[in-house]
Amino acid sequence: MKSLSHLLILLFLGLSSIANAQWSCGDTLIDKRDGKAYATVQIANQCWLAQNLNHGKMIESTVGGHLMLDDSIIERYSYKNIDQNSDTSDHPGAYYEYTEAVQYKPFIGENVQGVCPDGWHIPTTMEFTELVEATGGDSIAGLLLRKGGNSGFESYYCGWRCMMGKGSFFTAYPSFSPPAPVSFYWTADTTGSKGNLMRLNAADNNVLITKSFGNMLGMNVRCVLDKTNNIKTTKFEIKKASFKKENLKIQLFSSVSGSYRIQIIDGNANIIIDQILDIKTGKQTKIITLKKEIARGVYFISLGNQKYFSSIEITKQ
């Protein structure tokens, strides 16, 4: 009997240990509301869903206008009115009207959970701005944030649910100049009574924060981890870089230490250097051995373990 009691105690402790296992950014998030799974990614000091949210009861988009009418539940539009559980290349998650996305709670400078899972919230304009700065700035961030773009954010170009008299029209080619595939994400902020957006444009790889957009348009949602649960800020800055023969010398400042995967990416998002470097905190100089001489110009260095990007101009000694 004593042995059996001892075994039961060990089993209980083992199950408790599993139940209390520490979740960390980069692990899969299971939404307790519906059991759907989402990839997550750490980018600098933020933790993001790496897929578009797809929670709520699907309602068919059959006519133009405001169709999310039941304020007692979370409602969503689905791409081409096809109800699927996954966020894939042919089904890019859910689309929400602005007031539905924030669940009818005005932005007052605090975390707005909206349609996001517990512990997550609709990003503010400032949080999207931090994301863009951590991925090279607004002129290149779209290249890194897109699907397969090295940041891990994995944004599909999937347009919006258009409400301008086009009924159930979901489009990746809306009629603005230049016409090109785009993706839109609601922010928690408003301008007047209308919601603000982050827009990624495939035509020029840039990112724009667009103010005062139509609240009844259906846009995607990416949730970010609440600040109280957020990860420690990482500072990683390239001071200057130059190459001589087959060596690249970079001067950097870093607040992290350890072995890190360093990737150097050109303006077309091609990885031209991929190496492991030992980094100490503070200002330092590192030498990277190149297989061949690279052209002078602007590049982007990724501190892979932290998903942090810094733009640099490489010169020749």
Instruction: Check which CATH number belongs to the domain holding 254 and give it.
Output: 2.60.40.10
Tell me how far apart the alpha carbons of residues 206 and 204 are, in angstroms, rounded to a whole number. Answer: 5
Give the residue from 201, 229, 257 where a domain finishes. Answer: 229
Residues 215 and 245 in one domain: no
Query: In one letter, which amino acid is 251?
Result: Q
| Boundaries of domain holding 270 | 236-316
Residues 112 and 213 in one domain: yes
Q: 172 — phi, psi (to 5°)? A: -100, 0
What is the DSSP pairing of strand 57-58 with strand 75-78?
parallel
Residues 155 and 41 in one domain: yes
Give the SS3 label for residue 293: coil
Give the residue from 229, 256, 276 where a domain finishes. Answer: 229
pTM: 0.78
Q: Write out the two tokens for 62.
A: 């059959």
Tens-digit pLDDT string for the chain (317 aa): 445 444 443 333 343 333 346 888 889 999 999 999 999 998 888 899 999 999 999 988 877 778 899 999 999 998 778 887 655 556 678 999 988 999 988 666 678 899 999 999 999 888 988 888 888 777 778 888 888 888 889 888 777 776 544 444 455 444 443 334 678 888 888 766 666 767 776 656 666 666 656 677 888 999 999 987 766 656 777 778 888 877 888 888 887 788 888 888 877 777 888 888 888 888 888 888 887 778 888 777 777 666 667 777 788 87
Tell me how far apart the alpha carbons of residues 306 and 310 are, in angstroms, rounded to a whole number. Answer: 12
Residue 50 DSSP class: S
Give the residue from 196, 229, 262 where a domain finishes. Answer: 229
